[in-house]
Structure 1
Amino acid sequence: MEMKKILLATNNNHKVEEIQAILKDLGYEVLARDQVYDGNFDVDENADTLAGNALLKAQALRNLVSESYMVLADDTGLFVDALDGAPGVHSARYAGDAHDDEANKKKLLKELEDVSEEKRTARFKTVMALVQAGKDPVFIEGILEGKIAEEERGSSGFGYDPLFIPDGYSLSLGQMNPEEKNRISHRHNALIKLAEYLKELE
């Protein structure tokens, strides 16, 4: 029996490895986008929700590859309570369209420089869109609650990881090793739900 294939609408190695690690025992082959389609893939992520952007990417790739693939796309945002939910859906472009992690972190710290520790609560939220031929899209959400540190801590991970301290931990995501982060991450929480959904398809 041929192994079922899930094609990711990303070439981000961090995401690919994390998803492969969590789904490896389910009997699905998880592939990065460029393993199947290496042409131009420039999706204008102009939706005003994470779910909307995830669906835009999933449907765009779904239209470019064989129907034998299930296509999975995600969008993630950091929602800071003291900033009324910003940067939110604009997290990757918070400091401009260059997707500059360092500039984004610097801007976030600047925006929060006068905010006390107890008011620096925030959450990472991931929404995944799974698109399959002949079926309605499936949306899956994962959340990780925490707070924003007053300075960067650690250099592991990517994006806002060095600034985010999960509830119940003294370390930032940037100070954790990949295995430790994967056990608690917002993407992990969404992937556990995805795994449950995939098991129901059997």
Structure 2
Amino acid sequence: MLRYVTTNAGKVREARDYLSDGSVSQLDFDYTEIQSPELEPIAARGAREAYRHAGEPVLVDDAGLFIDALDGFPGPYSSYAEETLGIERVGELARDTSRGDVSGSRTQSDEAADPARAAFRCVLAYCDGDPFDASPDPIDRGDRAAAAAASADDEDDATTLPVKLFEGVVRGRIVEPRGDGGFGYDPIFEHEGQTFAEMTAAEKNAVSHRGRALGKFSEWYATR
């Protein structure tokens, strides 16, 4: 049984679109979220901790909205920015910065030069206690944060427990809020003419960053 570590039942339902219903279940476990400017170490650290807690295969995700005009902010801090600033303010910051970056001397294509462009990124981290064969998808083999906190008896496990990583990315742009569906930043993220909040759940899942990561993971997991 694969345990998807999340408090969001919707993520588990989305995972079941890519995996057989009986192969994945939800695990509500409050793992430590380390501070990092990148998603990968956050997800990998969480997967190691969740695996040690559950003692069975686990899947942890970390995701964020990366806005080009804000140098990738809020990125891994997306949840905190949503709670403290709100999505409307984050959108305003992006659009205000974008307007300040607009220049009539640009020679790039309109899409490439669009200063409101952004991306949703998701990293899935899988751990089952066993090593992995080499493949195009990265393997995180080190966990310095865990090693620093480990005792002498379990230090080797803390530094060598491997985690397989799968990334999904969807490009779009920041717009005024539109739509009543979805959650989080969905109303201000437009992809191919629609915000995520204007899409049905099925439409969003078909193009979402998490769906793309799950697609990669499910192909690999079928051979595990």
TM-score (norm. length: structure 2):
0.74
Deviations 1:37-80 (A, max 9, x none): 6xxx25133233101111121111111113xx210001001111
- What is the match of residue 13 of structure 2? 17
- What is the match of residue 130 of structure 1? 126
- Is 1:162 paired with 2:187? yes
- What is the match of residue 44 of structure 1? 33
The DSSP-based 3-state class of the residue aligned with 1:64 is helix
The answer for unaligned runs of 5 or more in structure 2 is: 103-113, 132-161
How far apart, CA to CA, are the structure 2 residues paired with 1:47 and 1:83?
17
1:112-127 equivalence runs, <5 A: 112-114=94-96, 115-116=98-99, 118-127=114-123
- Is 1:92 paired with 2:79? yes
- What is the match of residue 152 of structure 2? none
- What is the match of residue 166 of structure 2? 140
How far apart, CA to CA, are the structure 2 residues paired with 1:187 and 1:54?
13
Q: Give aligned pairs, total.
A: 180
1:29 to 19, 23, 26: 23
The answer for unaligned runs of 5 or more in structure 1 is: none
How far apart, CA to CA, are the structure 2 residues paired with 1:30 and 1:45?
25
Greater radius of gyration (CA): 2
How far apart, CA to CA, are the structure 1 residues paired with 2:51 and 2:218?
20
RMSD: 1.8
Give the aligned residue type for 1:137: V
Where has structure 1 moved over 3 Å in runs of 4 or more?
Answer: none
